[in-house]
Amino acid sequence: MSPFWKGLRGRTWNTTLAFWINRACYRLFPAQAKHWLAYPFDLHLRRFYVPYLGGWTDGGGILWALLHYENPDFEISWIERLASGKVGIDLGAHRGYWLLLHRRKIPSDALIFAFEPYLPNIPYLAQNLYENGVKNVAILQIAASAGPGKVSMGVSTGPFGEMGGTAHLVQEGGEYVAYAVKVADWLSALNLPRVDWIKMDIEGAEVAALEGALPLLERYKPDLWIEVHGTFKALQPLLERANYRVAGEKWYEAPREGMGHIWAVPA
């Protein structure tokens, strides 16, 4: 696969030039450059066309494309259900990277609910979807948990800066407070005829979110794509309780330990 930055361009020629200068500086002076999005020019708030995504995104979105372009969140064969799914739930939509990457597989008449509890990500998510013609997504600034209420979140500001926007749900002491719902209860109020898939990328909160979705699994039997953060041992009994089996798995460390991705389907 070609590098994602092949053919990348900014809104203006000087933004495109700034990108290539940053990239050159990062390669030549890695000790001085925190990241190629930030040195010597701050590119986080600029808009770019990314050929890999086939669309426009903010500078923070480009970072995510870089991190995942050779290693997509889920195997392509796992997400074939997108092509026939009419209703999907994206838990942890961030700025829309996953939805943009797979938008051509999703039918135009499908309805997607995108949960993103971290408010600073919402304008970017909305703009990224709008600029790329994605009109079938309802954005919800809310978290998914085992029950309704407030949850505290620790916002990552690692080496890539806060623009990465990764949010970690924790029990207490977080930097950011968001409202949470039990997804099954929230969805029952809509009385939808079907739910075909659920994607979870919520930085360690997947156990609480799955616990809150169990009645939904029993009723609709959607495919599940879950990014796991050392939580597989806690997820497995919940999947078994819902009569689900792991149909695919990919791990970056020892199998079923640490970070990885699973695909689960009704047994």
* Interval 9-52: pLDDT, tens: 999 999 999 999 988 888 887 665 567 788 889 888 899 998 88
Same domain, residue pair 53 and 180: no
- The answer to whether position 92 is within a domain reads yes
Considering the domain architecture, whether residues 250 and 222 belong to the same structural domain is answered as yes
Report the amino acid identity of residue 117: P
Residue 95 Ramachandran class (φ > 0 left, ψ -120 to 50 alpha, else beta): alpha
* Dihedrals phi, psi of 49, to nearest 5 degrees: -95, 120
- For 22, which DSSP code? H
Number of domains in the chain: 2
What is the C-alpha to C-alpha distance for residues 110 and 87, in angstroms, rounded to an integer? 6
Q: Give the global pTM.
A: 0.89
Note the pLDDT of residue 38: 81
pLDDT range class, residue 158, cuts 50, 70, 90: very low
Tell me whether residue 201 is exposed, middle or buried, using C-beta atoms within 10 angstroms of its C-beta: 0 to 12, 13 to 18, 19 or more: buried
- The domain of 29 spans 9-62
In a domain, 40, yes or no: yes
* pLDDT for res 65: 64
pLDDT at 166 over 60: no
Tell me if the bond preceding 40 is cis, omega within 30° of 0. Answer: yes
120 or 134, greater pLDDT = 134
- Amino acid at residue number 155: V
Side chain identity at 127, as an amino acid letter? Q
Q: Is 102 in the same domain as 197?
A: yes
Do 49 and 165 lie in one domain? The reply is no
Instruction: Please report, for residues 71, 90, 139, 190, 200, the alpha-carbon distance to residue 114 in angstroms, rounded to integers and kept in the order given.
Output: 22, 5, 5, 15, 10
Q: Same domain for 57 and 173?
A: no
> Residue 181: what pLDDT?
93
| Whether residue 133 is found in the same domain as residue 174 | yes
**Same domain for 17 and 122?**
no
Mean pLDDT of the region 221-225? 97
Based on the fold, state whether residues 118 and 170 are members of the same structural domain: yes
- Only one residue has tokens 């009723």, namely 219
Strand partners, 263: 225, 248
Integer Cα distance of 69 and 99 in angstroms? 14
